[in-house]
Amino acid sequence: MVRIGIIGARGFAGGELLRLGLSHPDFRITYVTSESQAGALVSDGFPGLRGVTDLRFQAFDGDEANAAADAFFFALPDGEAMQKAGALLAAGKKVVDLSGDFRVRDPENYQRWYGREHVSPDLLAQATYGMPELDRSRFAAATLVGNPGCYPTATLLAVAPLFADRLAEPGTLVVDAKSGVSGAGGRAGMDPAFSFPAIADNFRAYGVTGHRHIAEMEQELARLSGTSAPLTFTPHLLPVNRGILATCYVRLAASHTAADLTARYREYYREAPFVQVLESALPELRFVNGSNMCHIAIRVDDRTRRAICLSAIDNLVKGAAGSAIQNMNLLCGLPETAGLLHGATGP
Ligand SMILES: NC(=O)c1ccc[n+]([C@@H]2O[C@H](COP(=O)([O-])OP(=O)(O)OC[C@H]3O[C@@H](n4cnc5c(N)ncnc54)[C@H](OP(=O)(O)O)[C@@H]3O)[C@@H](O)[C@H]2O)c1
């Protein structure tokens, strides 16, 4: 059993870490923090966990955390884990951080996209980008994982085989992605722009040209293809609670059929238990929500020689807590799928 701590357990991602982690066969959750709910029962914060756990939230304390658990998930806003994780790592603990603190390898690039200085560049240099589907070898000696963002997860999985095999024309990728509202976190609920009338019966873009997830997408595509990989990314807010559908358009360097590309994707993901490459069906949120699966389909527009790569994930599972557990499984030498082979909840 691995003793697990969740730092920032009261947020949306923390709640999913609890929901999935409490039934994980090799995890025992021993330490959960919330500053605002310290002392309260977890099941009071998450009534959906009534009858499942009698854990209580506590305020974060480095010494208590160290004594209570062997491995930690950080589910705090950007800028927090880079200040708190160092002491735990120095004590030999394993850390998976769900924020953006350990995803962008270059501290200057981090400052450019996140608008703050990275205070632990030494830790950043040790961090592993947590997408085993792209490169499992990165996990061999890892102790600190920067868990990917939700949009980058949907996007990178949708286009990685094209970039790894250099089938895509560099600089032509356009990503049109739509997310459910939980992607903005629980705190966003206080903002009138996220009130029911502003979300329901509405559909809007945001972050046009400037979303910080662009940094890690370009970084990982450049690493895969060995060449600079600028992209255009526009996120949209769907009037649903959860799920991301990404539609990615990229010009192919040469003509390929959809059947050929689908076969290549299946080969590329042959050891990826959470990627399902569809053939005739197209991805839908209802068939991934609640699960750690990413559904992908590839089509080719022959007239323009563009591939259209579609993917669907649950932003809170494969886009956050599920992939974090997948990464922690690898850090702890457990089967990658442990605690994660749930089907989706959709009808
Ligand atoms: N939502 C998603 O779909 C998603 C997907 C991928 C990654 N992530 C990342 O996961 C992390 C958590 O996201 P979330 O959606 O769970 O956010 P959230 O619902 O807003 O929760 C964040 C929690 O962090 C705690 N916290 C501690 N220090 C804080 C501070 N200085 N300012 C604000 N909150 C603070 C707060 O809880 P207490 O007051 O109880 O301590 C809060 O409940 C973020 O870095 C986010 O980018 C989220």
Is there a single domain that holds both residue 81 and residue 166?
Answer: no
Pocket test for ligand 1, best of 12, 17, 190, 217 (most atoms within 8 A of CB): 12
Asked if 297 and 203 sit in the same domain, the reply is yes
- 217 shares its domain with 93: no
Same domain, 181 and 124: no
Domain shared by 285 and 174, yes or no: yes
Same domain, 12 and 127: yes
Residues 221 and 159 sit within 8 Å (Cβ to Cβ): yes
- 294 belongs to the catalytic site: no
HSE of 186, CA atoms in CB hemisphere, 13 A? 13
Residue 190 has a pLDDT of 87
Q: Could you tell me if residue 185 is inside a domain?
A: yes
Closest ligand 1 atom number to CA of residue 12: 16
Q: Whose CA is nearest to atom 45 of ligand 1?
A: 99
* Rounded alpha-carbon distances, angstroms, from residue 256 to 163, 169, 297, 314: 14, 13, 15, 30
Residue 323 CB partners (closer than 8 Å, separation 6+): 130, 131, 147, 148, 153, 274, 292, 317
168 in the same domain as 305 = yes
CA of 15 to the centre of ligand 1 (A): 10
Whether residue 47 sits in one domain with residue 138: yes
Ligand 1 residue neighbourhood (C-beta within 6 Å):
8, 10-14, 34-37, 75-78, 80, 98-99, 149-150, 182-183, 185-187, 315-316, 319-320
pLDDT reported for residue 140: 85
Domain that holds residue 77: 2-147+318-331
**Residue from 150, 248, 294, 309 carrying the catalytic annotation:** 150
**Mutational pocket test of ligand 1: of 16, 61, 76, the residue with most ligand atoms within 8 Å of the beta carbon:** 76
For position 30, which CATH number holds? Answer: 3.40.50.720
What is the spatial distance between Cα 130 and Cα 170, in angstroms, rounded to a whole number? 24
**What integer pLDDT is reported at residue 1 of this predicted model?**
96
Sign of the torsion angle spanned by Cα atoms 268, 270, 274, 277: positive
Residue 242 lies in a domain: yes
90 and 158 assigned to the same domain: no
Name residues whose C-beta falls within 8 Å of residue 239's C-beta, 6 or more positions apart in sequence: 181, 199, 200, 201, 202, 203
Which helix (H) or strand (E) segment is 31 a member of? strand 27-33
Closest CA to 216 of 53, 98, 72, 64: 98
CA of 12 to the centre of ligand 1 (A): 7
Consecutive 10-residue averages of pLDDT for the chain (347 residues): 98 98 98 98 98 98 98 98 98 98 97 97 97 93 97 98 96 98 88 93 95 98 97 98 98 97 98 98 98 98 97 98 98 97 94
Any domain includes 339 = no
How many angstroms separate the alpha carbon of residue 154 from the centre of ligand 1?
20
Does residue 135 sit in the same domain as residue 158? no
Residue owning the nearest CA to atom 6 of ligand 1: 320
Q: In 3D, which of 332, 324, 124, 84 has the Cα closest to residue 216?
A: 124
- For residue 149, the ligand 1 atom closest to its alpha carbon is 6
Query: Rounded to the nearest 10 degrees, what angle do helices 258-268 and 150-164 cross at?
Result: 110
The ligand 1 atom nearest the CA atom of 183: 3
Residue 240 lies in a domain: yes
